[in-house]
Structure formats: C-alpha cells, structure tokens
Amino acid sequence: MSTTLRLLEHIDEPGLAGMEVYERLGGYEALRTALFEMEPDEILEALESSGLRGRGGAGFSMGKKASFIPKGTMDKYLCCNADESEPGTFNNRLLMQKDPHRLIEGIIIAAIAAGVNKAFIYIRGEYKLQADVLDRAVAEAYEKGYLGEGILDSEFGLSLVVHRGAGAYICGEESALLDSLEGKRGNPRLKPPFPANRGLYQGPTLINNVETLCNVPYVIGMGVEEFKKVGTEKSAGTKLVSVSGNVQRPGNYEVALGTPIREIVYGLAGGPAEGRTVKCFFPGGSSAPVLSAEEGLDLPYDFESMAQAGSMLGSGAIIVIDDEQPLVPLALRLAHFYRHESCGKCSPCREGTNWTVKMLERMDQGEATPMDVEIMAQVQSNIIGNCLCVLGDSMAMPIGSMLEKFRDEFELHIEEARARNDASDLELGAGELASVATAGPS
C-alpha cells in the first residue's frame, strides 16, 4: 500500500501556519494556476474527474456538487463546514491549527470554480485556538492580496469571514449550519430545495468540509492524473483517519483510501493495549453502525467497502472498542449525547432519543426485561429515515447495529443487573426482618 503523504507532508514544519513558510513550500501556486491558466469550467472539470469525494460524511463527488451551483450573477456563497463535532473526529482540528493557508487556498479555488464571491468558515465554538489561527491566516491572506477585491490583480474577488459557533452538534448538518449562520437557531431545513439552489440567504450555496477543501489545491497543483494515482478507482486520494478509543497510539493518520483497516488500527495506531482484543469499532465517527472485529478488520477502508458492510466511512474517524468495555454504558453515553443534541424539531428524533436513553437506563439499573431489547430495536428502526436530518439516524444506526450484533451481551447485562437488584432486595428484606425482630416486645 502506498505511503504517499499529502495533507500531512509538511504538517510538523515549524511556522507552517504563517504565510512565509506556506509560500516557501509552494503554497498559493495552485491558486495562481487556477486563476491565470484555467477557466472556471476547467477547474470544475478537473475536480469532477479527479474523483475527489466529500470528506465530511456523505462522500458525494466534490466537483459534481460544485457544478450544481447555477451560473449567473446572483449572490452565491461558499460555506466551509468546520463544525467538526462528530464524536471521534479530530482531523479538521489538526488541519486548521497547523495548515490554515491550505484551507484558505482551497476555498479560493473552489470559489473561482463555482463563481462565488462571499465565503464563510463556520467553525465550532470550542475550537478557540483554531479559530484564532484562522483569523490570523485570513488577515495575512487579505494583506497579501489573496483575498479581497481583485485577487492578485485579476478580476476575481472573494471575501472570507471566520464565523464561530457556540456549541451545537446539529450545526454540522449543512442546512442547520446555514440557519445558524443566518442568525437563527440551528434547525435543519426541509430538503429540497437543496443548498446548491437555495442555501444561505436563499442564494445558491456550496458547502464543503475542511478536509475536502484542503484537497483542492492538490488536485489543481499536481493535476488530475497525479492525484488519482493514490486511492482506489472510486475513492481517489488520501484520507486523514482519526483513530481513537482503546488503541495505544490514537491520532490522525493519512492513508490512501483502500488501506485495510487492520493496518490502520494495528499497524498505525498500535492496536488495543496488551492482552486485549478489538470487540468492535465505529468506522466513521460515532454515527456509523459498529462493525465487529471479525466482519470489519480485514475490509479495505474506502467509501464503497464500508457501505457494502452496512456501515459508512462518514467523517473518517475510527473509534476502537476493546473487549473490556461493556456495551450498555457505551450505548447509554451515545444516546445521552444525541438526546442532548437533538434540536427537537422532528418527533421521531426528539422522542426516540429520549426513550432510548430511558430504556438503556432501565437496562443498566436492572429494571428492564429481555422484551425491552426488542422494543428498543423497534424504536431505532422507527427513527431511521423519518426526520428532516440524520441526527436521529446517527443514534439509531449505531445503537441498532449494537443490538443486532451484540444482542447476547445486552440480554446478559439486563439479567445481571436484575440479579444484582434481587440480591440487594433480599438483603434489604432480611435486614428489615431482623430489625423487626430486635425491636419486638422485650
């Protein structure tokens, strides 16, 4: 498997976040190519034929998405989705903190291709450090004439604003992000119309993830053929994988799409601590259905294989769970998260997440019966596909898959918790009898 490094090639270079070092390493060269040697249509064509797919979760072709933006002189917008809040994902954080100019360059090129003059980076509020880094980088880019009116004395102009969120997972959903950026509560919108037709301020809007946009300068800079050399036929390029959970060396690793998962989990991240084995893992952030070790570890890590296995590549975050972790508290933690983050707009999600938490609490406290597993699985299937956005699905899919694949463990957990309760009831009963006996008439 190829060990080509792209996004992380210079990531540890001191001062990369500054303009000087970035330019010394060939930064903004791709922008010059895009601006002076290519027509917007050619850029679109290059992006589409490069096979670059969105890295945010859905995996849709980036070039195709950009080509949906209508031509014309209306106000069009580009939003960079930097609201990286999918549990387990932290590759955007690294890119923004260490290599902000790559993102800015990608945004400018994408804006040229789509004919956009106003761009926003929506960064989550918790990323204070990264937002400050971006602010400085944007100011530098304005100073150097890469942003603003007449970029590098061409006719193309672009304004870029770094917009900080304030702590809402749902704002990573693209239409909720738009609402939030418009100054509303971050509620998802009904689709269609899709953002490409009516997005921000009702104008056509292109929304892309940080990692996707960071790949754009490479597509233009090295050319389509070179870019496609890494990865599989349908999933081109490299992917930053955030490996976390029960592994010895959690971190961001850049792999060619199609690398076997075992190599990522054991080879790069060191696998679970000694003496433990992988029970299951989330292949694409906590919203992805879990795969057990047997079914998942030997699959190649790309969009198609994950979809075929009944899961998804999602945000590219592998969370490893080892055999020592009980699943019920883990599912409860997950459900708590989604209950808290549900915006409350659609009933299946609002009620479903709430009841899942309550049922899991009952299981953990020994008040559930095996029938509750059945009911809970049914609740999950009633959430999936019945809401405006996929937040409810994001809970229902992993928990549904846990119930399906580790049903025995859930049933055992219920039984053990009940047995524990019965035992303590017995003790309590015996204690009461004893106290009655001693308090009896003397």
Q: How far is the CB of 67 from other proteins (least distance, A)?
A: 24
Q: Which stretch binds other proteins (CB under 8 A): 182-190, 221-229, 363-371, 380-388?
A: 182-190
- Residue 368 to residue 336: CA distance in whole angstroms: 18
Q: Does 21 bind other proteins (CB under 8 A)?
A: no
Which one, 53 or 98, has the nearer CB to other proteins? Answer: 98
Considering only residues 214 through 253, tell me which ones interact with other proteins, judged by CB under 8 A: 242, 244-246, 248-253
Please select the residue that binds other proteins; options are 185, 191, 358, 420, rule is CB under 8 A.
185
Instruction: Please work out the total of residues on this chain that contact other proteins, with binding judged by CB under 8 A.
Output: 76
Interacting stretch for other proteins, rule CB under 8 A, among 32-40, 163-171, 207-215, 348-356? 163-171
Residue 268 binds to other proteins (criterion: CB under 8 A): yes
Of 138-146, 265-273, 347-355, 377-385, the window that binds other proteins (rule: CB under 8 A) is: 265-273
Helical spans, DSSP H, in 342-441 = 347-365, 370-383, 391-405, 407-439
User: Which amino acid, one-letter code, is at 315?
Assistant: S
CB nearer to other proteins: pick between 63 and 87:
87
Q: Shortest distance, CB of residue 65 to other proteins, whole angstroms? A: 22
Residues 24-63 that bind other proteins (CB under 8 A): none
Residue type, 349: C
The packing angle between helices 391-405 and 370-383, to 10°, is: 140
Q: Are 105 and 217 in contact (CB under 8 A)?
A: yes
HSE, CB side, 13 Å, CA atoms: give it for residue 163: 22
Decide if 239 contacts 306 (C-beta within 8 A): no
Stretch that binds other proteins, among 58-66, 134-142, 156-164, 422-430 (CB under 8 A): 156-164
CA-to-CA distance for 282 and 240, rounded, in angstroms?
Answer: 15
In terms of CB distance, is 34 or 290 closer to other proteins? Answer: 290
441 binds other proteins (CB under 8 A): no
Please, which of residues 270-309 interact with other proteins by CB under 8 A?
270-271, 282, 286
Q: Taking phi first (over 0 means left), then psi (-120 to 50 degrees means alpha), and beta for anything else, what does residue 421 get?
A: alpha
* Window 112-151: residues binding other proteins (CB under 8 A): 118, 124-129
In the list 28, 227, 337, 410, the residue contacting other proteins (rule: CB under 8 A) is 337
Q: What is the DSSP letter of 6?
A: S
Residue 242's nearest CA partner among 283, 273, 277 is 283
For residue 89, the minimal CB distance to other proteins (Å) is: 7
Task: Please report whether residue 359 would count as binding other proteins according to CB under 8 A.
Answer: no
- Supply the minimum distance, in Å, between the C-beta of residue 24 and other proteins: 13
Bridge-based pairing state of the strands 278-282 and 291-292: antiparallel
One residue of 26, 167, 370, 431 binding other proteins per CB under 8 A: 167
* Nearest partner of 407 among 330, 328, 338, 336, judged by Cα: 328
Q: How far is the CB of 7 from other proteins (least distance, A)?
A: 10
Segment interacting with other proteins (CB under 8 A) among 336-344, 348-356, 357-365, 372-380: 336-344
Smallest distance from other proteins to CB 274, Å: 9
Among 46, 114, 330, 395, binds other proteins (CB under 8 A): 330
Q: Counting contacts by CB under 8 A, is residue 358 touching other proteins?
A: no
Q: How far is CA 370 from CA 66, 363, 410, in A?
A: 49, 9, 8
Angle, nearest 10°, between helix axes 347-365 and 407-439?
A: 50
The three-class DSSP label of residue 104 is helix
Interaction of residue 175 with other proteins, rule CB under 8 A: no
The count of other CB atoms within 10 Å of the CB of residue 152 is 14
Q: Does 13 bind other proteins (CB under 8 A)?
A: yes
Contacts of 86 (CB under 8 A, 6+ apart): 57, 169, 172, 285, 286, 287, 314, 315, 317
Q: Which of 157, 201, 375, 422 binds other proteins (CB under 8 A)?
A: 201
CB within 8 Å of 129: residues ≥ 6 apart: 97
Regarding 399 and contact with other proteins (CB under 8 A), the answer is no
Alpha-carbon gap, residue 130 to 99, rounded angstroms: 10
34 or 162: whose CB is closer to other proteins? 162
- In the range 63-122, which residues lie near other proteins by CB under 8 A? 75, 84-90, 92-93, 97, 118
